[in-house]
Structure formats: structure tokens, C-alpha cells
Amino acid sequence: MPAEIAETTLLKFSYPLTFFFLLACTGEVPESDSAGSWNPCGGTGDFEVSVGTVQPIRGHYVTRWFGVPEEEIKVRPPQILGDTRDALRVSTPSRFSTALPVNSGKVQFRTAIRRLPSPKNSFPAFENQKIHCEIFVREGDFLSSVAMLELPPPRSVMDQAWHPLELSLSANQAKSLEMVTRWQNPALAAQAGPSVEWANPRIFPIAPKPKPDVVLITVDTLRDDAVEFMPKIQKSFENGEWWTNAISPSSWTLPSYASLFTGLEVAEHGVGRGPFPEVPGKPSLREFYGLKQDLPTLAERFREAGYATCMIHQNPFLEPWTGLDRGFERYARVQEAPQTAVQQARNWWSQNPERPRFLVLHLIAPHLPYTPVDSESNPLDELAWKDFFSLDHTPEERKKFFQLSESKRKILVRQYQNGVSAMDAQLEDFLKLLQNESKLVLAFHADHGEELWDNGSFEHGHSFDDSVIRVPLAIWETGMTSRKEHSGFVAAHWLGATLLKRSGILEDWSPDLTSKHSFRSQGSLYRSLHGGREFHPASGKDRWLNLEETTSSSGRQASLPPELAAALSALGY
């Protein structure tokens, strides 16, 4: 059974306290917060540890696809390629507890649990033993077991995935919830074992949500004029607000999303690639820079306001080493089929109805390699284009390399459009589901476009031509009844501040999409003829920047958190 739908055994029976040495009472358990919720990973609610250790941490489930394109590994990938969540890492054995909120009626408990691989030769005698996780409700002098989950020894990385666990509880009198991790074999009760992670354990009441749900559907490599091949998106936003001259902050993914998630320009957040070699033409050993720790993010703002936060993405350039995962309770990379990302987003959406939700769904379908039309051949198969991209090449060399006949160019343009249409079709049902919510802010966005020989060259990351940096941008809100268009220049990364304001969260995260400030698009992945472009919404003018005005990355040099480095080490990285 796939990890994402692993079953939980739900039981209910009572035991006298004297039968449980692991569950020995150690005093009063901490109380939940006054709103009837408990969310220790989110900073609301304490817990008491009576056995073992419990450590708040960022839990990383990773596979061999971490940081690499899916097509580079010639075996069928799992649906989820990486899944990062806030978690409590506990020892085996361990026990921690918290008080259930009193007089709040029915409450829900939700978590997901995974067993970490044992460090080599650390528990050789017990490596084939199961670990037993169980949840108890304490009421007076008795414990009731309400749920349990068994974790077998991981035979492969797939066995280390998260296993969901959820249950309903009555909280009309003083009770406490106790979470136990131990060996299944009672004879091993006192023996230390591998660590286990409980992902974002939460207790919450079922109550109306005062704030709107917020969903951002963001597409990788989507040209502004490609929206004509997305009839489902057009229909969903037909009564929405459109910005028809939205400009991406950069010509490639990493700095563009850093701007979106911070509200800052590339020169301000410093996320991107390192300097180019002095002499072009050799293999390019690129250094990449992630987000500085002191920069607040869009997801952090939503989470601080009580939102459930999740991003489902499909690009290795968005892995957690970038820092772009900050503030997302769940941050998962999935395989590149659009239906996989949409399904994972739907799953998360349906599992989190109790809080206002902030969901970012990233889709990579228009990106290379394009989607063939029927049995049509791919002209790029004649070119060693992946090898070419690995070289530090000049703009002139790129133009020359991708000199194709008009007929072959048309095939590739058609394949690009086909990928856009196929992705659009996969979104239809999810968009209908979302727009049936009682209160929703829905946004549509792209990180950058794609040059299809508009100016004699191909792809992105090399140019600040309109085809690369003009992107579609739209917002639909519950209650909108007519289409509204804004034709002036606007920075696409100002969308984040706009979503915060329209959700009633922050009024001071500026500029937003109403701003008339000048802004720049900068930070190329490859060598470019220009340092970027500068736009002036007030006058409607723009200018090309000289190479001397090029910004250099000043962010945090890419490094892995220790827990993520350990997970990758276990995979042989």
C-alpha cells in the first residue's frame, strides 16, 4: 500500500494505570491554548515529556530524486519525491502528553508518523523489529487506547515515508492525550531504538473559519500569451482580475520564487546563482544561493495568522536547501505529471478543512522536455541540449546551437502548447472544487516565460525579452461577478503582499499590485546580453540594463540543514 494512503488501526479499550511502566504519571500535563487547539510545531501549546526525548525539528523524507530532474533517473519514480514537514522527533522509547481542551466538545487529533533509518550498526540486534506508536486518552486513573500504528524496519527509502493518523475525540471533561513510541516486542521495552518523527501533531476544534482560504496556482515556464491554450483557467478567472503586463522578477525559477515569497527584488534578497567563470565555454560548476534566515516569507506570515500552509511543487530548484520551504507546514516535491501534483494538492486540501488554508500548487508541465503531440518526433532529440546547458555558454552560442528549420521550430512550439493544454485539463475539477468554497482568494501566476525563437533564441534563463519575463497574473475572489483588467506594468512578485492584504492579514507588506514603484527584472541563470530590465509603471516606460548593472547573488550559499544532510547521506549522496 502506498505510504500516502497507509491505514491506521483504530482501537478503543481501557487499562489500569499499573500495567504501564512506560505510561507512568509524572504530574500535571500542560494545557492546550485557550482557543481549544494544540499545535506545538506552530508555537501554540506545550507538552510534557516523561520518557525519552522529544525535539521539534524539520523532518525530511527524501528519495533518490532529491535535487535532480525526474528524467535523469531511469526507473519509475514514486508519486512523492520529497516531503518536508514540521515534526517532533522522538526517541524509542518515549512518551509525551498534553491536556485536551475542556468544554470544547468534539476535537480532532491529526499527525503523520515515520520511522527514521537507523545509523549504521547502531541497533544490530533489533534492526528487524517493528516499532509501535500508540495514542492514549487519560481520564482519571484509566487510560484508553484510541489509535495505534506499527512501523516495520525500512527496507528501502519508500518505507521511510509519512503515515497519516487522525481521530476524533470528546473533550467535555478533564482528559489528557498521551503519545507513546516503543518497540512492539515488550521484551525490548528498555532498549534504545531508532528515532521516530510525529509530523505537526495537532488538536483542534471543528469551528467556522473567520478568514478566507487562499490558493496560489503557479506554473513554471508559462508565457503570457500561452493562456489562450488554457480554456479551463480562462473560464475559472473569467470574472476575475487580470494584470496584462505583469513582469517576472527574474528569467528563471529560483530568484523568481524568492521574490514572490519575500516581496523583494533579486538585488535585495540575493537568491540565485554565483558568478560566471572568467572564460566561457567550459563546464559550468555553478554555485547557488538560498534565502537568508532573517528574511520573513509569505508562508510564515500566513502561518502566524493561523493558516494551514502547504506547497506542492515539481522543480528540483525549489528543494528545501533554498530556504523557500520556510513557513510551510508541509512542503512536498512530487513527480512531474500534472495530475500527480493536482491529486496531492486535493488530498491535502480535503484533509485540512478546520483552519483557513494557504496552498501553493506549482506545476512544471510547460518546462523542457516538452510534451510530444501523438507520435510526432522531437527535434531536440537531434541535439545534445542537456550537455549544452551544462556548459558556460554565451548568448551568441545559444542562438547558433538552437538554429533549427522553421518546420522543426513549429513542432517544438506545438509541443510546448500541448503541454500547457494538457496541464490545463488536469486543473478543471480541482478549480471547480475550490470555487465552491464559501470564502476563497484564488490566484494564478507564472515564475517566468519561455523564448520560442521570438528574438532568435530558445528557452529561458538567458534573456529578459518579453517572451521570458512577461507572465500571466490573475486573482479571483468569492463574490466577483465581472472581469477587470489592469494594463500597466506591474511586478509579478507583488502578488504576495496583495494576497496578505486581501486575506485581512497584513496591510504593511508592500509594495502590492496597486503600487506605481519602479522595479527591475534581473538575475540570469546563463550569460546574457543585458543586466536585466527596469520598469516604470507611472510613465509606462522601461529600459534595458547594462551588464555593469547586473546584480550578483548575496544570499546564503546553498547548504543543507544537518537533518536533511543526514537523510541524504543515508541515500548515498
CA distance 478 to 463: 38
Residue 135 CA to residue 124 CA, distance in Å, equals 28
* The model's pTM: 0.88
Location of each CATH 2.60.120.260 domain in the chain:
3-205
Peptide bond into 369 cis (omega under 30): yes
Rg value, the chain, Cα: 25
Give the CA distances from residue 67 to residues 44, 129, 388, in Å, rounded to whole numbers and listed in that order.
Answer: 33, 32, 20
Distances (CA, A) of 95 to 32, 120, 183, 203, 384: 17, 25, 12, 17, 56
pLDDT at 173: 66
Estimate to the nearest angstrom the gap between the alpha carbon of 463 and the chain centroid.
27
Report how far Cα 303 is from the mean position of its chain's Cα atoms.
Answer: 14
pLDDT the model gives residue 32: 42
Range list of β-strands (E), 157-259: 163-170, 176-183, 193-205, 213-219, 241-243, 246-247
Q: What is the pLDDT of residue 564?
A: 62
DSSP-derived secondary structure letter, 103: T
Ordered mean pLDDT values, 10 residues apiece, the chain (573 residues) = 34 32 37 64 88 95 77 77 95 94 76 87 74 93 92 81 90 82 92 94 82 98 98 98 99 98 96 85 77 94 95 94 96 96 97 94 96 84 90 94 96 96 97 96 99 98 98 98 97 98 86 96 95 97 92 70 59 43
Please write the tens of the pLDDT for every residue from 106-129: 788 999 999 998 776 566 667 789
ω into residue 194 within 30 of 0, thus cis? no
Q: Which of 140, 159, 158 is nearest to 150 (CA)?
A: 159
What architecture is the 3-205 domain classified under in CATH? Sandwich (2.60)
pLDDT of residue 508: 77
Q: Cα(480)–Cα(148) distance, rounded to whole angstroms?
A: 46
What is the pLDDT at residue 217? 99
Q: Which fold has domain 213-570?
A: Alkaline Phosphatase, subunit A (3.40.720)
- 338, 423 Cβ separation under 8 angstroms: yes
- Could you tell me the CA-to-CA distances from 250 to 337, 449, 563 in Å, in that order? 25, 10, 31
In the numeric block, the cell 531508532 is attached to 194
Location of each CATH 3.40.720.10 domain in the chain? 213-570
Which amino acid appears at position 126 of this protein?
F
C-beta separation of 61 from 331 below 8 A:
no
Q: What is the per-residue pLDDT for 395?
A: 96
d(CA 230, CA 217): 13
Report the chain's terminal Cα–Cα distance, integer Å. 27
